[in-house]
Amino acid sequence: MAETREPLTSPLDKNWMLLLIDADKNPKTGWHDYDFLINKKIKNGKFTLLQKYNSQYKMWEDRIELPFKFNKNKIELAIPRSCLNLSKKNFTFDFHWADNPENLTNIIDFCTTGDSAPNRKFNYRCSVL
């Protein structure tokens, strides 16, 4: 679950509440390290798509639908660990929220358009030990 300072806008907005995940912590893979993207394609008010970056073709590929909920200033996603290739009991991954960046062709847009958490290109880290 994530909580914002202000109420969330419509999930129909372009690049709404994007969640980028660096699951393998390998800077040589993914789009600027990020292996997975969530919320780029929202199916309806209840499901969104998990996408995986294909480095060979330099594009995001659809993987599976994920349930999600949002209300006022909170969003909740259910992401199976196996979908992120995190099948072990203990794991660590980095993640970043980006809301309404102009586009996803230039990582600098995280700094200059929309909103980003944490700021710039920094990441949050989730560790389950």
Query: What residue ranges do the domains of the chain occupy?
Result: 2-128
The answer on pLDDT for 42 being more than 90 is yes
pLDDT for res 111: 85
* H helical segments located in 20-119: 109-112
How many other C-beta atoms are found inside a 10 Å radius of the C-beta of residue 97? 20
Q: Can you read off the two tokens belonging to residue 121?
A: 């290109």
* Band of pLDDT at residue 29, cut at 50, 70 and 90: very high
Return d(Cα 93, Cα 38) in angstroms, integer. Answer: 15
Q: Write out pLDDT tens, residues 67-105.
A: 999 999 999 999 999 999 998 889 999 999 999 999 888
Q: Write out pLDDT tens, residues 43-58.
A: 888 999 999 999 999 9
Sign of the CA dihedral running 96, 102, 105, 108: negative
Mean pLDDT of 9-13: 90
* Band of pLDDT at residue 33, cut at 50, 70 and 90: very high
Sign of the CA dihedral running 13, 37, 70, 1: negative
Question: How many residues are given for the chain?
Answer: 129
pLDDT for res 39: 97
